[in-house]
Chains A and B, each alone.
Chain A
Amino acid sequence: MISLIGIAVFILLAPVIGGLIAGVDRRISARMQGRVGPPVLQPFYDVGKLFEKEITVANETQRFYAFSYFVFMIFTGALFFSGGNILLVIFALTLAQIFLVLGAYSAYSPYSHVGAERELIQIMAYEPMVILTAVGFYVVTKSFDVATIALFDQPLVLFLPGIFAGFIYILTIKLRKSPFDISTSHHAHQEIVKGVTTEFSGPTLGIIEVTHWYETVFLLGFVYLFFAFSPIIGIIAVILVYLLELVIDNASARVKWQFVMKSSWAIAAIVSVVNLAALYYLRMV
C-alpha cells in the first residue's frame, strides 16, 4: 500500500510548492489591501535569511522540539501522500503540533506560554472535525486508507457536503488565518508578540517556517481527497478553497479563543451528525 514514490515526491516537492503558495498568498493579500506586495519568491528569501542569522536559543531542548515538529510533520505528510492510514496521519499531525507547543513552553517567556496555551486550544478546537472527516470518508468508501479513498470513483464532496464545509471551517485555524490566528499570525503585530513562535529565532524559526510549508501542502492534499475522482476538478477546487481562505483572512478580524473553541465544536457536531444521518436515511451508503 505504501508508495515510496509518494513519499519521495512529497519530501522533495512539498517545500517548493508550499513556499510558492506562501509567496502567492502574500502577493494576493497585498493586492487585496491595495499594495504591490513582495516578490513571489519572498518566503524563500525569508527562510534563507533566517539560516544566515546567528543561532540564539533559549535552551537546547527548544531546538530539539522544533526539529521534532519538522520531522513529524514530514512523517505526517509522507504517510498521507503514500496512501497510508488516515487515522495514523491525524495522530502523527497532532504529535507534530504538540512538539511545537512543548518548544514554546520550554522558554521562560509569558508571550511564548500564552501562545502555547492558545495553540493547545486550537488543537482541541480542530481535532474533532478532522477525525469526523476521516469517519465521513470511512462511511462512504468503507476504508481508512488514503489510497483507497483517493481511488473512490464518485465525488466524495457530493456525499459529504456538510463535512466538507466543516473541514473548510477548521482549515482556517490550521492555515493560521484570521479570524482564527490566535496562537501566532503571519501578519505583523499581535497582542501576544508572535505567540507560539516568539522565542524561536534564526535557523530554528526557519525550520518552523519550512514545516509550515509542508503542513500547507498536506492540508491541501486533504481538501483534494474530497474531489479525488477527477484530478483537474480536484486541483481547481483546492485553488478555489485557498483563495476563499485568503478572502476570509483579509476580510475578518481576530476573534477570542472562546469563540474559536465553541464555534468549531458546534459546527463539527452539527454538520457531521446531519451529514452522516442524511447518508444513512437516504440509504446512500
Chain B
Amino acid sequence: MSYLSRSPWILHYDATSCNGCDIEVLACLTPMYDVERFGIINTGNPKHADIFLLTGSVNEQNREVVRNLYDQMPNPKVVVAIGICATSGGVFRECYNVAGGIDKIIPVDVYVPGCAARPESIIDGIVMALGILERKRTEMISGDKGVQPELQQGGKAQ
C-alpha cells in the first residue's frame, strides 16, 4: 500500500445539488463520523486534492466549472459522484437545463446513489475510490496512457 491511500485529500463541489447530499458529505467530517481518522481532509483546493466529490445534476452554468476543477487536479485522481442526481440526474434527468449526471462531463470512477446519500455510504464510496486511486497510480508509474489523454482534452476545452 502506498501513501496515497493513507492520505486522500478531497475536493467537494456542489453542481446544482439541492444541498442535501452536501450536508451529508460535510457530516462525514464532523465528530460523529470523523473521516480525518483515515487521513481524509477537505481541502477546498483542486491542486491539493486527490478525490473529487461531486453532488448534483450539473447545469449549463457550472458545466465548465466542473471540467475546470477536474483538469486542475494533479494525477492520480478519482471522481466520486454522490447522490442520485450526480449519478444519473435523478428526477431532474429530463429537465432542459441539466446535463443529467456528472459522467456526462467528466469520467466518474465511483457512483454513490441515494437521496440524500447516507454518510456511511459516502465513506464506503470513498474507500472504494482509494482502491481505484492505487490502481491509477500503478498505471501512472508504468507509463500507461489511460490518464494522459483526458488531461489534453481538458486543455483544448479551456
Number of inter-chain CB pairs below 8 Å: 80
Chain A to chain B: the 6 pairs with minimum beta-carbon distance, closest first: A48-B3, A201-B47, A49-B7, A45-B6, A49-B3, A54-B75
Residues on the B chain within 8 Å of A199, using CB: 47
A194 touches B48 (CB 8 A): yes
CA distance A26 to B6 in the complex (A): 15
CA distance A30 to B8 in the complex (A): 18
Binds A, one of B36-44, B55-63, B78-86, B96-104: B36-44
A189 touches B50 (CB 8 A): no
B39 touches A46 (CB 8 A): yes
Q: Give B150 Cβ to nearest chain A Cβ, in Å.
A: 13
Q: Is A53 an interface residue, CB under 8 A from the partner?
A: yes
Q: Is A198 an interface residue, CB under 8 A from the partner?
A: yes
Q: Is A38 an interface residue, CB under 8 A from the partner?
A: yes
CA distance A51 to B141 in the complex (A): 13
Q: Is B31 an interface residue, CB under 8 A from the partner?
A: yes
For residues 47 through 70 of chain A, which have their beta carbon under 8 Å from a beta carbon of chain B?
Answer: 48-49, 51-56
CA distance A199 to B43 in the complex (A): 13
Residues on the B chain within 8 Å of A56, using CB: 47, 74
Q: Is A188 an interface residue, CB under 8 A from the partner?
A: yes
Chain A binding surface, main DSSP class: loop
| Smallest CB gap from A46: residue in B | B7
B39 touches A53 (CB 8 A): no
Q: Mark B5-40, 1 if CB is under 8 A from A, else 0.
A: 011100000000000000000000101001011110
A52 touches B44 (CB 8 A): no
Interface size on B, residues (CB 8 A): 26
Residues on the B chain within 8 Å of A52, using CB: 2-4, 137
Residues on the A chain within 8 Å of B76, using CB: 53-54
B4 touches A49 (CB 8 A): yes
A38 touches B37 (CB 8 A): yes
| Smallest CB gap from B43: residue in A | A188
CA distance A205 to B45 in the complex (A): 12
A190 touches B7 (CB 8 A): no
A188 touches B42 (CB 8 A): yes
Residues on the B chain within 8 Å of A46, using CB: 3, 7, 39
* With known contacts A45-B7, A49-B6, A38–B74 Cβ distance under 8 A: no
CA distance A37 to B37 in the complex (A): 5
Q: Mark A9-46, 1 if CB is under 8 A from B, else 0.
A: 00000000000000000100010011111110010011
| Smallest CB gap from A51: residue in B | B3
A48 contacts which of B7, B45, B47 (Cβ < 8 Å)?
B7
Residues on the A chain within 8 Å of B75, using CB: 53-54
| Smallest CB gap from A48: residue in B | B3
Q: Is A2 an interface residue, CB under 8 A from the partner?
A: no
Residues on the B chain within 8 Å of A193, using CB: 44-45
Q: Is B127 an interface residue, CB under 8 A from the partner?
A: no
